[in-house]
Structure 1
Amino acid sequence: MTAHVDVLDLVSRLKAADEPFVLATVVRTVSVTAAKAGAKAIIRPDGRVEAGWIGGGCARGATLKAAREALADGRSRLISIQPEDLLDELGVKPGEQRAGVKFAKNMCPSQGTMDIFVEPMLPRPSLVVLGSSPVALALAGQARQLGFHVTLAAPFGEFAEMPEADRLVDGFGIGAPQSAQRFVVVSTQGKGDEAALRAALGIEAGYHGFVGSRRKMAALRQSLAGAGVAAEALDRVKAPAGLDIGAITPEEIALSILAEIVVVRRAGQRGEAPREPQGSSRKSG
C-alpha cells in the first residue's frame, strides 16, 4: 500500500488508462476508529490497496469483499462496520443489507463504527464496429457520446474522409479489445460481409449484431458453416441488429442497435439475469 500517493491524482490516471479499480471513501465514523471521515483508498481487482488509507484489519476484510462485489456487478454500495452490540440493537446480522446499507461486524477492540462508500470505476465499455456504411459511421458517433470506447474497422480506402473513433483499424484484423465489456456490430452492408462477420465472431463479446436482413444472414451462415465456423458462434449473432423501433434512416438504425446493447449491458447492473437479444421484425440491408 502506498499511502503517500495522491489518491485523486491516481484516480485520474487510472481512469485515463481505462483500468478497473474501486474508490473506497470513509463517509462517517463513530467512537474510536483508525481512519476518519474523508479518508480514501484505491483498491485494485486483485484486492491490493494501491493508495490511500481506510483503516486496518477492522475495516479491511469487509471493504475488500465489497470491492470485489462492486467490480463484479458495477454497482456502488455503502457498508457499515459496527461492533456486535450495535448490530444487535439494530436487529441486523453481519452480511445483512437494509435500506441500501450492507452491515459488517467490527472485530477490533476499539469497537468503533465506520461507514464506507465503495464505488467501482470500470473501463469504458468497448464497441467494435466493422464496416464503412452510413450505419457504421452513425454507430461510431452515437456510441462515443454514450461513453463507449469505439473501434471502427474497415478498409481505409472505403472512407471519403477519415471518421472519428477512439481506434481506427485498416481492414478487419482487430484483435481483442481490452475492456471487460465488449459489443460487436457488423455493418458492412455488402462490402466484405463474410470477412467482417468471421472477424467479429473471433471476438468474445456480450453482443454480436449484424446489420442486414435475416435472408442475408441465413446465406452468410450457410457459407461460414461450410467453412468450418461453429454453429454455436453463429447462433450468437443478432440479425437484424437492433430493437424494432420502426427505424429507417442510418441514424435511427444506429439508435435501435445502441438501445439493444444498453439493454444487454445494464441487465446485470439492475440485478437481472443477462438478457439475450430478441428477434426483430425490422429489415435492413
Structure 2
Amino acid sequence: MITARFEDRFESRLSSLRATGEPFAIATVVRTVDATSAKPGAKAIVLADGTIAEGWIGGGCARSAVGKAGAAAIKAGQPQFISLRPEELLAAEGVAPGEERAGVRFARNGCPSKGSMDIFVEPVLPRPRLVVFGAGPVAMALCDLAGRFDLHRTMAAPGLTEGPAERVQDGFVLPTGAEGGGEAAPGARRFIVVATQGKGDEAGLRAALAAGAEHVAFVGSRRKFATLAERLIAGGMEAEALARVKAPAGVNIHAITPEEIALSILAEIVMLRRDGGRGEAHGG
C-alpha cells in the first residue's frame, strides 16, 4: 500500500511538471554494490535548481550528488551518468571526485556504509517553441516542415483572429500561456523567424525582438535587413538589439524555393538546438 501511494505521488508530480512545462530530470539507480539504502530501479525527480522534488535515491550522501547532476543535465540538455563511490575506492582507481571518464562522472560517497551506486540522470525539457512571423509562402512552408521536428509551432501575423488567450504586439497576434509562442513555458527554448517578406517587416522585427528568444532570424537579404535596421534605429530601437538578429535566416544551402528556404532555416535551428550551447544562438 505504501508503494502504491509512493508511485501515485511520483506520477502525479510528473504529470504536474509536464502540464506546466517546467524542466526537470529523472534520476534512476541502475546499479549498486555492497550496502546502499536505494536499490536498482529507485527513481527521483530533480528540479532545475537541484532540488529533489519526489522519489527516493538514497540519503544525504546520494541526494547532493544527484541534485547537482540533475541541474547539470537540465542546463546542458544532455543525460548524465554518475558513479557514487567511497573515497578509498576512488583513490584506489586513481579517480578524483568530480572527474569524468568515458561519459561517467564520479562522485564521493561519504556514508559509513561505503557502498557504491551508479545513477542515470535524464533531463525532461519542454518542447522548443518556434514562432514564425508572417503568413507568406516561406512562413507556411516553415510551419509545415517544422511539424516533423518536434517543435511547438506558432504563426503570428496581422489579421489573425484575436482570442481571449492571445495578445497583440505591433499588430501581430501572439498566443500566450505555457503552450503559446508569446510567453513560453519556463525553461523552454524559443526560436523566432521573421518571414514577413515585405508585409509588415518593420513591425514584425519589432514584435520579434520584443517577444524575446535565444534566436531571432530574418528571412531576406543582408542589404534588405540593413535598410530595415537603419530605419528602426532611426525610430529609436537600440542597435544592440538588432545585432542579435541572424540575417539572412538559415544556413547557406543555395536555397531558392520557399520549401528550400524553410529547410535551410530548420537546419540552423536543429544545429542550435542540439549543440547544447544556450548562450551561442544569436548570430549577426
Give the TM-score band, short-chain normalised. 0.7 to 0.9
Contact 1:5 1:52 in 2 (8 A): no
In the alignment, structure 1 residue 257 sits paired with structure 2 residue 265:
yes
Show CA shifts across 1:233-281 (max 9, x none): 1111122211111111111101101111222222236xx9826547xxx
Which amino acid counterpart does residue 172 of structure 1 have in structure 2? F
Cross-structure match for 1:145: 148
Cross-structure match for 2:245: 237
Contact 2:36 2:116 in 1 (8 A): yes
Cross-structure match for 2:172: 172
* Separation in 1, partners of 2:65, 2:212: 33
Match of 2:211 among 195, 203, 214: 203
Cross-structure match for 1:49: 52
Show CA shifts across 1:35-72 (max 9, x none): 10001111112333222111111101111111111111
* Separation in 2, partners of 1:150, 1:7: 30
Contact 2:216 2:282 in 1 (8 A): no
How does 1:26-45 map onto structure 2 within 5 Å? 26-45=29-48
In the alignment, structure 1 residue 102 sits paired with structure 2 residue 97:
no
The verdict on how the C-alpha distance between 1:273 and 1:101 changes in structure 2, with shifts beyond 3 A counting, is same
Contact 2:134 2:196 in 1 (8 A): yes
Contact 1:242 1:253 in 2 (8 A): yes
The verdict on how the C-alpha distance between 1:74 and 1:9 changes in structure 2, with shifts beyond 3 A counting, is same
How does 1:1-285 map onto structure 2 within 5 Å? 3=6, 5-8=8-11, 10-156=13-159, 171-174=171-174, 175-178=182-185, 179-268=187-276, 274=280, 277=283
Contact 1:151 1:168 in 2 (8 A): no
* Separation in 1, partners of 2:147, 2:12: 25
The verdict on how the C-alpha distance between 1:275 and 1:193 changes in structure 2, with shifts beyond 3 A counting, is closer
Contact 1:128 1:182 in 2 (8 A): yes
Show CA shifts across 1:178-202 (max 9, x none): 3531111111111111111110111
The verdict on how the C-alpha distance between 1:277 and 1:266 changes in structure 2, with shifts beyond 3 A counting, is farther
Which amino acid counterpart does residue 263 of structure 2 have in structure 1? L
* Separation in 2, partners of 1:207, 1:16: 25
The verdict on how the C-alpha distance between 1:259 and 1:169 changes in structure 2, with shifts beyond 3 A counting, is farther
* Separation in 1, partners of 2:135, 2:281: 29
* Separation in 1, partners of 2:160, 2:99: 59
Amino-acid identity (%): 56
Q: CA RMSD for the aligned pairs?
A: 2.4
Residue ranges of structure 1 left out of the alignment (5+ in a row): 159-166, 279-285
Task: Detail structure 1 runs of 4+ shifted over 6 Å in the superposition.
Answer: 167-170
TM-score (norm 2): 0.86
**3-state SS of paired residue (1:150):** strand
**3-state SS of paired residue (1:246):** coil
Contact 2:214 2:282 in 1 (8 A): no
TM-score (norm 1): 0.86
* Separation in 2, partners of 1:198, 1:226: 13
**3-state SS of paired residue (2:275):** helix
Contact 1:152 1:168 in 2 (8 A): no
Aligned-residue offset at 1:13: 4.7
